[in-house]
Amino acid sequence: MEKINARLGVNIDHVATLRQARGESYPSVVEAANICLNHGADQITIHLREDRRHIQDTDVEAIRLVTKKFGKPLNFEIGVNPEIIDIAIATAPDWICVVPEKREEKTTEGGLDLKNETTFKKVQEACALLKSKIPGLKISLFVEGDEEILKLSKQIECDAVEIHTGDFARAHLNGEDTNPFLEQFKKSLNLCSELGLAHHAGHGLTAESVKPLVAENLFVEYNIGHWIICQAVFEGLAKVIQNLKVEIQG
């Protein structure tokens, strides 16, 4: 099996979480983005939530400037809120990842429920608008690796799906059997190949839980955030990124 040269996307939301906890100007998300891209990250991911719990409006353009400087993509996670969509259009990122969003959740709890007709229509209309307003934009949809969901994703103007790996990551962390998840990811990979959709991964992943995914060549992109920022407390952000990049590229 030929090894996939997978990309590492680093989500720096939780650098902003630390900053917002005290309302200070530090730690700097701009410095975090610079360090990540200087030490092997292939793109920066940020999520501008409706409640602005971490990333703020002013962060978006500042981080966009950093990614432009490095010639690397900004992957902008958004819900289908009209205000957020307007900010996305003004920012013109390289990638937009459309995600579900509930104000009461601690973090994104699962993929888009495209089986719900209202949700499907909202996402479809948002993606069409974004594509019409941002030249060259690529869109991924944050979804579960479910056959019907993946086929519905193909009906929307998107380029990739980002498979929700949160349940797999938690099972791995708890020492549970992860083989059912790996089998599901293999099926979603095969279906995405047939549908012409790129197969990305994200949510809850660590340096350890990413290993079996990399070993099986399951994804072309891994978006990892919370674990990276946590581990950086002990090892430093640069070292964590360097080590993780080696892990992902084998």
- What are phi and psi for residue 144, nearest 5 degrees? -80, 155
Residue 214 CA to residue 208 CA, distance in Å, equals 10
Apex 186 CA angle, 184 and 192, nearest 5 = 100
d(CA 227, CA 248): 15
Separation of alpha carbons 246 and 17, rounded Å: 27
Cis amide linkage into residue 27, ω under 30° from 0? yes
Q: Which residue in 39, 47, 164, 172 is the catalytic one? A: 47
**Active site (annotated) includes residue 54:** no
Catalytic residue status for 164: no
Catalytic residue of the set 14, 164, 199, 203: 203
Residue identified by tokens 């030490």 is: 39
Please name the residue ranges forming H helices in the chain. 13-22, 29-38, 57-70, 82-91, 117-133, 147-155, 166-173, 179-195, 210-215, 226-235, 237-249
Strands 7-11, 138-143: pairing kind: unpaired
Alpha carbons 162 and 140: distance in angstroms, whole number? 6
226 a catalytic residue: no
Of the listed 14, 39, 54, 77, which one is catalytic? 77
Catalytic residues: 47, 77, 203
